[in-house]
């Protein structure tokens, strides 16, 4: 042992209150980090809950944003090459919207002459409640099924709205002859029990037999057609009480959207172009958005519940930790720690655990979004604020979870804690 003398403090007045404060924020952080890392297994258990909760939240919101980005991209490409021209509507006396103009019979000739229009089709929804069957027999015992909608079409539908047909699409000859032919959407064909159009099966719309010439497997721009029965407009007007076309679907050259949307209403009604509106067709984005919104809510709630569970996990593990560390708390009090300093340390430990869970959770969430996006060929869209916000949320959860255990730790009587150990 060395010969150095101890230097007990001289017998002077007690140290002043102001001098007794060298416990810095750095000390607090160092002690908290040491406390957190002292038992890695305890750390892992307490981090997992927050990690899963934050990870689920970031993944949910990130995938939602990415999907929305995808829809927007698709919408942009549709908007660049497709237009829909419809009569403008005005609210009538009955409170319903009524068209203020009607599409003329030679509308297709008029719009296809416009520069930039590559294909056009006129569509009319048939509001006539027709009974549609695949057999001529009316079986009164059969369950009444909702018939598929009938869409009357004139012009080059496939070119105008895109899509794939097995068999064939009816053509101008069918229209001019007013033939009773039909193309079934794949959904409608399934509902009617028709598998293919190779044998030219018939369907019966009311008393009229229509020959099925093709089945529409898909349509990019008008997905609703897949569940419909498509017939020539002239035939529908003769047999099914169809009115004039209510929509013109145009495929246009890239860059021509602005010009065509301006010129098409003039071509249809030179004296009253305001009677028509031209816009990019709806792409189902709204429906997609609704579904995505519901999914988001479900995952958001799952994430939130997991986060709460994670917070409870932190609180639980911290409580256990306090029981285990009673002698340490007693020692710190003996070394001069105030109750507030003990509480601050445990609060900070919880904050660190929560922030760590938030940080790793956000990273896992981002990674998941990136992996899913790569697998789907999407462009991942992530808000930086979401990542930062979720990390902060993790910290807040930790802080909230640490409140009660911290108060318990501060109340530990040092004499008891030192005696018990």
Partner 1 sequence: MSEPLQPLLDLRQVTRSFGGAGAVTALAGIELSVASGDHVAITGPSGAGKSTMLNILGLLDRPSTGEYLFDGEPTSRLSERRRSTLRATQIGFVFQAFHLLPGRTVLENVSMAYLYGTVPRYERGRRARDALDRVGLSHRIGFQPGTLSGGERQRVAIARAVCTEPRLLLADEPTGNLDRANSEEILALFDELNADGLTLVTITHDQRVADRARRRVRIEQGRLTEPTA
Among residues 112, 101, 49, 118, the alpha carbon closest in space to that of 397 is found at 49
Does position 34 interact with partner 1 (CB under 8 A)? The reply is: yes
- Give residues with Cβ within 8 angstroms of 176, minimum separation 6: 234
Q: Are 400 and 311 in contact (CB under 8 A)?
A: yes
- CB nearer partner 1, residue 262 or residue 419: 419
Give CA angle at 281 (78, 216), nearest 5°.
85
Strands 97-99 and 164-167: unpaired
Stretch that binds partner 1, among 295-303, 354-362, 401-409, 410-418 (CB under 8 A): 410-418
- For the bound state, the minimum distance from the C-beta of residue 12 to partner 1, rounded and expressed in Å, comes to 9
- 3-class DSSP state of 353: helix
C-alpha 97/C-alpha 182 separation (Å) is 30
Stretch that binds partner 1, among 49-57, 204-212, 263-271, 413-421 (CB under 8 A): 413-421
- For the bound state, the minimum distance from the C-beta of residue 383 to partner 1, rounded and expressed in Å, comes to 40
- For the bound state, the minimum distance from the C-beta of residue 336 to partner 1, rounded and expressed in Å, comes to 2
C-alpha 29/C-alpha 40 separation (Å) is 17
Q: Are 114 and 264 in contact (CB under 8 A)?
A: yes
C-alpha 227/C-alpha 131 separation (Å) is 15
- CB nearer partner 1, residue 22 or residue 96: 22
C-alpha 110/C-alpha 325 separation (Å) is 86
- CB nearer partner 1, residue 374 or residue 415: 415
Stretch that binds partner 1, among 31-39, 41-49, 227-235, 263-271 (CB under 8 A): 31-39
- CB nearer partner 1, residue 71 or residue 418: 418
Q: Are 216 and 184 in contact (CB under 8 A)?
A: yes
- For the bound state, the minimum distance from the C-beta of residue 2 to partner 1, rounded and expressed in Å, comes to 6
- For the bound state, the minimum distance from the C-beta of residue 21 to partner 1, rounded and expressed in Å, comes to 8
Does position 407 interact with partner 1 (CB under 8 A)? The reply is: no
* Stretch 38-67: interaction string toward partner 1, x if CB under 8 A: x-----------------------------
SS (H, E, C) 69-120: HHHHHHHHHHHHHEEEEEECEEECCCCCEEECCCCCCCHHHHHHCCCCEEEE
- For the bound state, the minimum distance from the C-beta of residue 55 to partner 1, rounded and expressed in Å, comes to 29
Does position 347 interact with partner 1 (CB under 8 A)? The reply is: no
CA end-to-end span of the chain, whole Å?
31
Does position 404 interact with partner 1 (CB under 8 A)? The reply is: no
- CB nearer partner 1, residue 5 or residue 96: 5
Stretch that binds partner 1, among 20-28, 169-177, 271-279, 367-375 (CB under 8 A): 20-28
Q: Are 245 and 120 in contact (CB under 8 A)?
A: no
Stretch that binds partner 1, among 17-25, 85-93, 135-143, 174-182 (CB under 8 A): 17-25
- For the bound state, the minimum distance from the C-beta of residue 411 to partner 1, rounded and expressed in Å, comes to 12
DSSP class of 142:
S
Please give the residues from 315 up to 344 whose contact with partner 1 meets the rule CB under 8 A: 327-328, 330-339, 341
Sort residue 201 into left (φ over 0), alpha (ψ -120 to 50) or beta: beta
- For the bound state, the minimum distance from the C-beta of residue 356 to partner 1, rounded and expressed in Å, comes to 18
Does position 349 interact with partner 1 (CB under 8 A)? The reply is: no
C-alpha 373/C-alpha 70 separation (Å) is 10
Q: How many of the chain's residues bind partner 1 (CB under 8 A)?
A: 42
Out of 33, 287, 305, 415, the only residue in the binding site for partner 1 (CB under 8 A) is 415
Does position 25 interact with partner 1 (CB under 8 A)? The reply is: no
Cα Rg of the chain, angstroms: 36
Stretch that binds partner 1, among 27-35, 66-74, 109-117, 183-191 (CB under 8 A): 27-35
- CB nearer partner 1, residue 27 or residue 206: 27
C-alpha 148/C-alpha 184 separation (Å) is 10
Integer CA distances (angstroms), 92 to 89, 96, 211, 303, in order: 9, 6, 39, 47
Sort residue 200 into left (φ over 0), alpha (ψ -120 to 50) or beta: left
- For the bound state, the minimum distance from the C-beta of residue 331 to partner 1, rounded and expressed in Å, comes to 5
Q: What is the binding site for partner 1 (CB under 8 A)?
A: 1-2, 4-9, 11, 14-15, 17, 19-24, 26-27, 31, 34, 38, 327-328, 330-339, 341, 413-415, 418-419, 421
């Amino acid at each position: 042992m060395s010969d150095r003398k101890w230097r007990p403090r001289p017998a002077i007045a007690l140290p002043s209150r102001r001098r007794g404060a060298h416990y810095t924020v750095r000390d607090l952080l160092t002690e908290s980090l040491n406390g957190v890392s002292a038992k890695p297994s305890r750390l892992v258990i307490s981090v997992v809950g927050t990690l899963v909760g934050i990870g689920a939240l970031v993944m949910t919101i990130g995938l939602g944003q990415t999907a929305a980005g995808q829809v927007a991209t698709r919408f942009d490409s549709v908007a660049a090459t497709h237009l829909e021209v419809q009569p403008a509507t005005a609210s009538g006396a009955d409170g319903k919207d009524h068209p203020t103009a009607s599409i003329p019979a030679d509308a297709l000739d008029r719009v296809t002459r416009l520069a930039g229009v590559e294909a056009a089709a006129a569509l009319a929804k048939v509001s006539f409640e027709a009974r549609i069957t695949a057999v001529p027999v009316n079986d009164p015992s059969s369950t009444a099924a909702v018939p598929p909608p009938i869409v009357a079409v004139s012009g080059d539908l496939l070119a105008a709205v895109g899509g794939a047909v097995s068999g064939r699409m009816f053509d101008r000859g069918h229209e001019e002859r007013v033939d009773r032919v039909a193309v079934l959407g794949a959904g409608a064909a399934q509902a009617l029990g028709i598998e293919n159009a190779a044998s030219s099966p018939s369907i019966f719309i009311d008393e009229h037999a229509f020959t099925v010439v093709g089945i529409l497997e898909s349509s990019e721009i008008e997905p609703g057609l897949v569940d419909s029965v498509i017939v020539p407009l002239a035939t529908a007007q003769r047999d099914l009480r169809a009115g004039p076309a209510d929509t013109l679907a145009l495929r246009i050259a890239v860059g021509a959207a602005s010009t065509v949307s301006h010129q098409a209403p003039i071509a249809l009604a030179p004296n009253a172009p305001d009677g028509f509106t031209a816009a990019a067709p709806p792409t189902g984005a709204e429906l997609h958005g609704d579904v995505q919104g519901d999914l988001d809510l479900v995952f958001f709630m799952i994430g939130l519940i997991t986060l709460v569970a994670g917070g409870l996990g932190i609180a639980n593990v911290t409580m256990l930790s306090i029981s285990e560390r009673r002698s340490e708390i007693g020692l710190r009090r003996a070394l001069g720690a105030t109750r507030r300093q003990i509480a601050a340390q445990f609060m900070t430990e919880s904050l660190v655990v929560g922030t760590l869970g938030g940080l790793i959770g956000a990273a896992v969430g981002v990674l998941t979004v990136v992996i899913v996006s790569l697998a789907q060929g999407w462009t991942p869209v992530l808000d930086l604020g979401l990542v930062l916000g979720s990390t902060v949320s993790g910290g807040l959860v930790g802080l909230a979870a640490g409140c009660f255990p911290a108060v318990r730790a501060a109340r530990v009587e040092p004499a008891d804690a030192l005696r018990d150990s």
